[in-house]
Chain A
Amino acid sequence: NAGVTQTPKFRILKIGQSMTLQCAQDMNHNYMYWYRQDPGMGLKLIYYSVGAGITDKGEVPNGYNVSRSTTEDFPLRLELAAPSQTSVYFCASSYRSDRGEQYFGPGTRLTVT
């Protein structure tokens, strides 16, 4: 199993550009999550999904969109990138919420200039 994979590892965007961060898992997990981690700060939940076709907002959803068309994939879309979105983005998955050990991807380091 590859576990949770994320692409790209690094990206530099100009203000106003858009991009999609890819996340995939091969563990047949129902729950998937997107987090951001700002320097010196705790992880914050952006969006989560409890299964294909079902997504919901977390603590900091503004400026992002997600979709979940398959169990495996959970892409995060940034529209009109802003410097405040400079962060490290982590995707995670778990089988179910009450067996909620989370498996994290390696992260995507995004800089918006």
Chain B
Amino acid sequence: KNEVEQSPQNLTAQEGEFITINCSYSVGISALHWLQQHPGGGIVSLFMLSSGKKKHGRLIATINIQEKHSSLHITASHPRDSAVYICAAQDNYGQNFVFGPGTRLSVLP
């Protein structure tokens, strides 16, 4: 069974800071997903990665398959980035997902 860990659990940043959230998993996967859960509870998919790096606006996600590690970076953070960020490991059959516990980010103005 895949174990997915995230660090830090909680993160408080000042507006404009560069933020990094880390995710590690224990078993080989077909893809790694990053999700954002808003304070109201809604969940949005940010990235799906199987190798390398992806960028959407101020968000960058990277994955190192050999080290079983992924990072989510937020550049020039803004209070509207305050949310819980969740990584999820998709198994090699592509159908089962194991989720990390989430990182709660607060960006202060």
Contact = CB atoms under 8 A, between A and B. Distances in A.
Interface of A: 31, 33, 35, 40-45, 48, 50, 56, 58-59, 88, 90, 92, 97-104, 106-107
A18 to B, nearest CB: 25
Query: Mostly helix, strand, loop or mixed at chain B's interface?
Result: strand
A103 B101 contact: no
Contacts, number: 60
B108 interface: no
Nearest to B1: A59
Interface in B23-52: 30-31, 33, 35, 41-45, 48
Query: Mostly helix, strand, loop or mixed at chain A's interface?
Result: strand
B106 to A, nearest CB: 16
B45 A59 contact: no
Nearest to B102: A42
9 contacts: A88-B41, A90-B43, A98-B30, A101-B45, A103-B45, A104-B35, A104-B45, A106-B41, A107-B42
B66 interface: no
B49 to A, nearest CB: 11
Nearest to A33: B97
Contacts of A100: 31, 33, 48, 90, 94
Q: Across chains A and B, which 9 residue pairs bring their CB atoms closest together, nearest first?
A: A97-B94, A42-B99, A104-B43, A43-B99, A42-B101, A101-B45, A102-B45, A101-B48, A107-B41
Given A98-B30, A102-B33, A45 B45 contact: no
Given A41-B101, A90-B43, A106-B42, A48 B95 contact: yes
Contact of B96 (A48, A104, A107): A48
B65 interface: no
Contacts of B4: 42
